[in-house]
Copies of this chain bind each other. A is one copy, B any other.
């Protein structure tokens, strides 16, 4: 197929060529001085992306691994953990917790809303014996395009006067949506390389608060690969306790350069502005988005609900075939009912508008009723948009 492919799933995202070029430089000795300098730099600079001055652990493993790491470093078998079913990924994380032998209390959800902080607070207040050891929520639910108010969850925990740790998955928001590990009092933040960090998959992260680290001292879950302490001890010297993903770290250094050059605030604004344009386009077409409340709609992706009777998967296949644009599929209960547009990572206006145009062409080709002109409406939004009308996330 001629032309450049557009990877517009909500991650992995399009890796900038500068980053790919850095990854393709030769592998270096992970015990040598050049690596040490690289490691020290990325370990220090990655903190800024998480909004923390505390250590961030970098695993040579994809994001699901960092979910596991957050659990096994802080909890003991049988510990109770409070989770919120915001969508497919929150559900998968809760299933993982169960498989690891935790006692999961999963607050049911409609997959269209963020975490209900009031229910978290109620649940914690009801936990007189303080059996709940952690609250684990997803900041940006990649399956639905709904973000949750993490600061509100922290306030809920504090109001309940509950000692539970706060674990947050930011895999698809990190580096795209404003996030503040320290300010929001998060204990473990889970991140991945292949979304806002603009890298291929293969690195994942745990930002760790002092409270979380203290909890790990007594956490009884068996662990080795994911263990924080060995990692932190090695990291202090600029090394890793086992072979790190050297080439991806070479890429991470360049990705951090790019984020720093643009400035994190500008990065967040760029995502908000794009999200607003996408949603105007979707509404113009006449479709609903999965987020029930626009104030919770994600700045990083938009899940679009097709009218009943139309196959989102058939639409995606048509668009991929016609236009080399990859869109995200509906997951779990949303299979074939929604498609997801990733607007995160490295993109600009013509990329965004080109994708929307490809979707509009696909709607036409599939005979899905819609009002044409969506692209123009996105274009108008981008052109006018100093202040997006629909604020995403916080």
Contact = CB atoms under 8 A, between A and B. Distances in A.
B24 A243 contact: no
A326 interface: yes
19 contacts: A3-B350, A4-B16, A4-B17, A6-B350, A13-B27, A15-B26, A15-B27, A21-B21, A61-B61, A62-B242, A62-B244, A99-B223, A100-B222, A200-B245, A200-B247, A202-B248, A354-B354, A372-B379, A375-B379
Interface stretch (A124-132, A301-309, A357-365): A357-365
Interface of A: 1-7, 9, 11-18, 20-21, 23-33, 59-65, 67-68, 77, 96, 99-101, 192, 194, 200-202, 221-225, 227, 242-248, 258, 262, 267, 270, 320, 322-326, 328-329, 346-355, 357-358, 360-361, 364-365, 372-373, 375-376, 379-380, 382-383
A233 B33 CA distance: 42
A375 B142 CA distance: 30
Contacts of A28: 5, 7, 326
A202 B247 CA distance: 9
Contacts of A325: 350
A64 B357 contact: no
B14 A24 contact: no
A202 B251 CA distance: 13
A61 B225 contact: yes
A361 B358 CA distance: 18
A179 to B, nearest CB: 18
B100 A224 contact: yes
Given A65-B225, A100-B222, A222-B101, A364 B350 contact: no
A201 B244 contact: yes
Given A26-B14, A65-B61, A201-B245, A353 B358 contact: yes
A258 B1 CA distance: 9
Nearest 4 CB-CB pairings of A with B: A3-B348, A354-B354, A353-B357, A350-B354
A225 B350 contact: no
A351 B4 contact: yes
A223 B97 CA distance: 10
A62 B61 CA distance: 7
A7 to B, nearest CB: 6
B225 A222 contact: no
A7 B25 contact: no
A106 B248 CA distance: 35
Contacts of A77: 222
A68 B224 contact: yes
B26 A17 contact: yes
B24 A20 contact: yes
Nearest to A259: B2
A242 B30 CA distance: 27
Contact of A21 (B24, B192, B329, B372): B24
Contacts of A328: 31
